Amino acid sequence: MVEYRADPAAVAAFLPPGVEPAPDPGAAAAIFAHWHWRSESEEEADDPERNQFNEFLILLACTAEGRPMARCPYAWVDGAIPMARGWIQGMPKQFGAVHLTHPKAVGRTGPHLVTGGVFHGIASQYGARIVKAGVTLGGRAAEPPALHTVPLVHTRHFPAWVPSDKPMSQLVASEVVDVEFGEIWEGEASLHFADDLPGDLASLAPVQVGGGFVFSYAETLCHGKALSRVRQSRDRAEVVAS
Amino acid sequence: MVEYRADPAAVAAFLPPGVEPAPDPGAAAAIFAHWHWRSESEEEADDPERNQFNEFLILLACTAEGRPMARCPYAWVDGAIPMARGWIQGMPKQFGAVHLTHPKAVGRTGPHLVTGGVFHGIASQYGARIVKAGVTLGGRAAEPPALHTVPLVHTRHFPAWVPSDKPMSQLVASEVVDVEFGEIWEGEASLHFADDLPGDLASLAPVQVGGGFVFSYAETLCHGKALSRVRQSRDRAEVVAS
Amino acid sequence: MVEYRADPAAVAAFLPPGVEPAPDPGAAAAIFAHWHWRSESEEEADDPERNQFNEFLILLACTAEGRPMARCPYAWVDGAIPMARGWIQGMPKQFGAVHLTHPKAVGRTGPHLVTGGVFHGIASQYGARIVKAGVTLGGRAAEPPALHTVPLVHTRHFPAWVPSDKPMSQLVASEVVDVEFGEIWEGEASLHFADDLPGDLASLAPVQVGGGFVFSYAETLCHGKALSRVRQSRDRAEVVAS
Amino acid sequence: MVEYRADPAAVAAFLPPGVEPAPDPGAAAAIFAHWHWRSESEEEADDPERNQFNEFLILLACTAEGRPMARCPYAWVDGAIPMARGWIQGMPKQFGAVHLTHPKAVGRTGPHLVTGGVFHGIASQYGARIVKAGVTLGGRAAEPPALHTVPLVHTRHFPAWVPSDKPMSQLVASEVVDVEFGEIWEGEASLHFADDLPGDLASLAPVQVGGGFVFSYAETLCHGKALSRVRQSRDRAEVVAS
């Protein structure tokens, strides 16, 4: 995960009614993750082709219901099940090729989780590069990066197909429990967006690159909580100012 | 496309309220297709990685609103956009590896569209085979296969995520215009479902394999038309008996 | 296939001893092809995942043994069998994602083989774009494009692994029979190499784009014929000067 | 890695001249590995799509030059570079889809490297399953599994292409240095070959499944050492009997 700053105006353009800019309005993160998931039926439990996937996503700091949250404007995964699961939650997941370095316990090549270890992430879609990122571990961090500890606020969207119908659109926050962090390492980071990205994705390219983090993380994703879309600008401003 | 007969009881188990078995209740088809699509924005027009895909689907003969229609219990595509587009229409598309023989104009290897030409289709998911099919062209057919000429009746489904919500479920028929068939060839066919399929897919395996068809087809997919879920059993029975 | 002109000095740098620049020394072609192959055992005959593949390759006009030939400096295929088969012939095939437009017989979207039909090709490797090409059909051509009618001159290479051994390197021409062309269409073409290609590939980018061709082609690839590496500079020079 | 016993006659059929059955002639292993590699140029160092890959291979115990070695009759990797690198060494690597469970540091789903942790591997080719394996960790092992500590004896093969040439065939042992093992865990294992494998691969299916191992491993692969193909049966037998 690489913390970075995007253009605050570009970030604001991705926030729907009911979601406001954060006090620090350009804060963003680029996250590469390798996930192992388990359903209640466990029918995928013996198939590592199905129960593991890679993800790259962007998070934008924002405020909703008076609390710090994060908005995901773009995400790519390399499996169809996590893509569909994301849509049900309201994450705008697309299908892409995502690869990230796995830490190694021995040897001279794969990075170890020690000072100096170098980790990379790379993502592409339809044969065109989207992003490259790198982190060189400097040492242990006391806290996880801020954008990885706040709820995500998503818009569940399902288009209409019968002409007289309206699309479904529902603002929700994901509720998670059993959150666990492993060792958290931080260090210097690089983050490069490709040159020929579509316009609104290009608008989120870094204007400043912050620190990088490498860590293990686990959660149980329970369900969504509906958020009001009523814009409470004045109340929000007061909360933000407190 | 291979016409076949499935177990009528298995077929009936896939029909939702508002959809009845066909007069010929086990009629089914296994269809391999290579598609080229175009959106209104045409932003994908110069990218053959995006605007082409392969599909394998199963169609089951059924009746809805007193008319012959077809129900798609399973479909696989090799692209994320057609998968999502299928879900919006109500098709239960999954992600898979689908390959089919392209006709060739010259040479000794790729089949020509002439008597004796042999075409194959093959589909798999998560590294496990689903189905294999083959057609050896015998001659030109006067008509397209019946299941390729009727409307498809789908259930648009979007799960709930907030615990107090209900999932969306809407019975629709796809409305298409600009339907065009190229030369239609028919011949002897083979169709093999793999041995270790999940139960309800295995239940649709062929009990008898009919003829095979190879043809070009085009349509413009417009929108959906909502169907009533009210079961009109007696009316249907009368229609069926007529 | 798109004819183009590359920098003659860059082309010359790809020619091994025994192969000389062509009389027209920057002539080159960028070729997208969908192939259907058959082995003598025919064990792959019923599997379209195995017996079909896509290829993108570059050809450079050259002269060997006093005859016009073509040299392939780069090629990408999307299957492991054609990659290995290429290496045995001496083609430097790499693994990539290659897609090209298939002609369609009906409909408003996929191009027909008629004046105005638009065909595209696109190739990438490791999630990064290599090349995009397009052809808009203008009319029928009387002859196939020149670089598609000459023998290919390859270097069969197999590295040493035991330190005292020398790598194998053999200059060969491919011998093909049963060559067949279908209808040959030509028209205006576009050809774009990506910006961030490795240096020696970037050196082959077009300095001028010529015409484009769309056609079917078949051959039987028999075996190789060893060529002498003896450089016949004076004779060649005379040919070049004529 | 899962130790197993194959039919000794089937194993013997895979041993070339100069390689003899092991004292324990049916000993075999099925190995799933996730690799991170580095070349001398390090040009792939920042690209985890290129510098990591998965592999499934079978090893057969054998004897060459009077020493215990292992023979690899089949291997699959999911990258073209390791496939080519394998061929240069003499490993018969094919292209396949290979997935294996990565250990996790936290959470309830991905297995931890502790007693009870469950790891899986799965491999397929051309959309058809080859093998599934599983290991449930019982405890730490004192030693690495025997077949992972012996040299591999390969046949470097490069077919002829010019009719008068002979194929290249060279018996070599791989020389490795810098071998490192991380924690070695062992436990109960499962191993299933698919039903419809080609004949000589099916002949290597397990007749008895032994223990399973999960560990990290690193090596530097240097070069090959040529082995004599002269069969020294009597000497070998004496050595074996000692």
Q: Is the pLDDT of residue B176 over 50?
A: yes
Q: In this complex, which of C83, C162, C168 lies closest to D224 when CB atoms are compared?
A: C162
Residue of D nearest to C95 (CA): D80
Cβ within 8 Å, pair A161-B223: yes
User: What's the distance, CA C47 to chain centroid?
Assistant: 25
- Helix (H) / strand (E) containing A10: helix A8-13
Question: B-chain residues within 8 Å CB-CB of A84?
Answer: 87
CA gap A115, A136 in Å, rounded:
8
Q: In this complex, which of B38, B102, B105 lies closest to C52 when CB atoms are compared?
A: B102
Contact D15, D133 (CB under 8 A): no
User: Which of B120, B150, B141, B131 minimizes the C-alpha distance to B23?
Assistant: B150
Contacts of B238 (CB under 8 A, 6+ apart): none
D interface with A, Cβ–Cβ < 8 A, is 34, 36-38, 45-49, 51-52, 97, 99-102, 104-110, 118, 120-122, 132, 134, 178, 180-183, 216-220
Minimal C-alpha gap between A209 and chain D (Å) = 18
Question: C-chain residues within 8 Å CB-CB of B121?
Answer: 48
Per the listing, tokens 């699961």 go with A85
Using the 8-state DSSP alphabet, how is residue C229 labeled? -
Q: Is the pLDDT of residue D18 over 80?
A: yes
Residue C51, pLDDT score: 97
Beta bridge pairs of residue B131: B123, B193
Neighbouring chains of C at 3+ CB pairs under 8 Å are A, B, D
Cβ within 8 Å, pair D216-A105: yes
CA gap B71, B61 in Å, rounded:
6
CATH superfamily ID and name for C2-151+178-219: Acetoacetate decarboxylase-like (2.40.400.10)
Per the listing, tokens 């002897």 go with B188
Average pLDDT over residues B97-110: 97
CA gap A140, A153 in Å, rounded:
29
Cβ within 8 Å, pair A38-D109: yes
The Cβ of residue A201 has, within 10 Å, a number of other Cβ atoms equal to: 16
Cβ within 8 Å, pair B161-A49: no
Mutate to test the interface with D, among A34, A38, A49 (most CBs of D within 10 A): A49
Cβ within 8 Å, pair D105-A183: yes
Q: In this complex, which of C49, C83, C127 lies closest to D49 when CB atoms are compared?
A: C127
**Paired tokens of C229:** 């590496």
Contact C127, D48 (CB under 8 A): no
- The DSSP bridge pattern shows strands D67-77 and D93-95 to be parallel
What radius of gyration, in Å, describes the C-alpha atoms of chain C?
18
Question: Which tens digit of pLDDT belongs to each residue from B107-164?
Answer: 999 999 999 999 999 999 999 999 999 999 999 999 999 999 999 999 999 999 999 9
Contact B170, B102 (CB under 8 A): no
Residue A76, pLDDT score: 98
Residue of C nearest to B103 (CA): C36
Using the 8-state DSSP alphabet, how is residue A146 labeled? G
Minimal C-alpha gap between B169 and chain D (Å) = 31
Residue D229, pLDDT score: 63
Q: Is the pLDDT of residue C238 over 90?
A: no
pLDDT-flagged residues of chain A (< 70)? 229-242
Question: Which tens digit of pLDDT belongs to each residue from C55-99?
Answer: 999 999 999 999 999 999 999 999 999 999 999 999 999 999 999
Q: Is the pLDDT of residue B90 over 80?
A: yes
Contacts of A105 (CB under 8 A, 6+ apart): A112, D182, D183, D216
Q: Is the pLDDT of residue B83 over 90?
A: yes
User: Which of C219, C215, C205, C214 minimizes the C-alpha distance to C28?
Assistant: C205
CA gap B119, B109 in Å, rounded:
11
For residue D177, with 0-12 CB atoms within 10 Å meaning exposed, 13-18 middle and 19 or more buried, which class applies?
A: exposed
Residue A149 to residues A69, A72, A143, C151, Cα–Cα distance (Å): 9, 14, 10, 63
Per the listing, tokens 């994703």 go with A221
Amino acid in position D165: D
Neighbouring chains of A at 3+ CB pairs under 8 Å are B, C, D
Residue A106, pLDDT score: 97
- The DSSP bridge pattern shows strands A67-77 and A52-64 to be antiparallel
Residue of A nearest to C125 (CA): A127
Cβ within 8 Å, pair C224-D158: no
Question: Which tens digit of pLDDT belongs to each residue from A164-176?
Answer: 999 999 999 999 9
Question: Which tens digit of pLDDT belongs to each residue from D29-78?
Answer: 999 999 999 998 999 999 999 999 999 999 999 999 999 999 999 999 99
Concatenated DSSP letters of chain B: -EEEE--HHHHHHTPPTT-EE-SSTTEEEEEEEEEE---SS-TTTT-HHHHEEEEEEEEEEEEETTEEEEEEEEEEESSHHHHHHHHHHT--EEE-EEEEPPP-SSSSSSPPSSTT-EEEEEEEETTEEEEEEEEEEEEE-SS--GGGSS-BEEEEEE---STTS--EEEEEEEEEEEEEEEEEEEEEEEEEE-TT--HHHHTTS-SEEEEEEEEEEEEEEEEEEE------HHHHHHHHH-
Average pLDDT over residues D136-159: 96
C interface with D, Cβ–Cβ < 8 A, is 47, 49-50, 79-80, 83-84, 87-90, 94-95, 126-127, 156, 158-159, 161-163, 165, 168, 170, 172, 223-226
Per the listing, tokens 């933000």 go with A240
Using the 8-state DSSP alphabet, how is residue D115 labeled? T
Give the CA dihedral B210, B214, B220, B224, nearest 10 degrees: 20
Question: C-chain residues within 8 Å CB-CB of B110?
Answer: 36, 52, 218
Residue of D nearest to A124 (CA): D49
Contact B189, B135 (CB under 8 A): yes
Q: At what angle do helices A80-89 and B80-89 cross, to 10 degrees?
A: 50
CA gap A239, B17 in Å, rounded:
51
Question: D-chain residues within 8 Å CB-CB of B129?
Answer: 127-129
Q: In this complex, which of A88, A162, A163 lies closest to B161 when CB atoms are compared?
A: A88
User: What's the distance, CA C34 to chain centroid?
Assistant: 12
Residue A229, pLDDT score: 63
Question: Which tens digit of pLDDT belongs to each residue from D225-237?
Answer: 999 764 444 333 3
Cβ within 8 Å, pair B224-A161: yes
3-state secondary structure of C10: helix
* Mean pLDDT score of chain B: 93
Residue of D nearest to B195 (CA): D195
Question: Which tens digit of pLDDT belongs to each residue from D150-205?
Answer: 999 999 999 999 999 999 999 999 999 999 999 999 999 999 999 989 889 999 99
Mutate to test the interface with A, among B78, B157, B162, B222 (most CBs of A within 10 A): B162
Concatenated DSSP letters of B115-177: TT-EEEEEEEETTEEEEEEEEEEEEE-SS--GGGSS-BEEEEEE---STTS--EEEEEEEEEE
Question: Which tens digit of pLDDT belongs to each residue from B183-232?
Answer: 999 999 999 999 989 889 999 999 999 999 999 999 999 999 999 764 44
CA gap B238, C14 in Å, rounded:
77
Per the listing, tokens 């995400």 go with A75
Half-sphere exposure of C17 (CA within 13 A, CB side): 6
- The DSSP bridge pattern shows strands C118-125 and C128-140 to be antiparallel
- The DSSP bridge pattern shows strands B67-77 and B93-95 to be parallel
Minimal C-alpha gap between B178 and chain C (Å) = 8
Average pLDDT over residues C215-234: 80
- The DSSP bridge pattern shows strands B27-36 and B52-64 to be antiparallel
Average pLDDT over residues B65-90: 97
CA gap B147, B151 in Å, rounded:
9
* Residue A43, φ and ψ in degrees, nearest 5: -70, -20
Q: In this complex, which of A99, A182, A219 lies closest to D48 when CB atoms are compared?
A: A99
Contact D140, D154 (CB under 8 A): no
**Paired tokens of B182:** 């190229």
Contacts of D235 (CB under 8 A, 6+ apart): D66
Q: Is the pLDDT of residue D102 over 80?
A: yes
Question: C-chain residues within 8 Å CB-CB of B128?
Answer: none
Question: D-chain residues within 8 Å CB-CB of C94?
Answer: 80
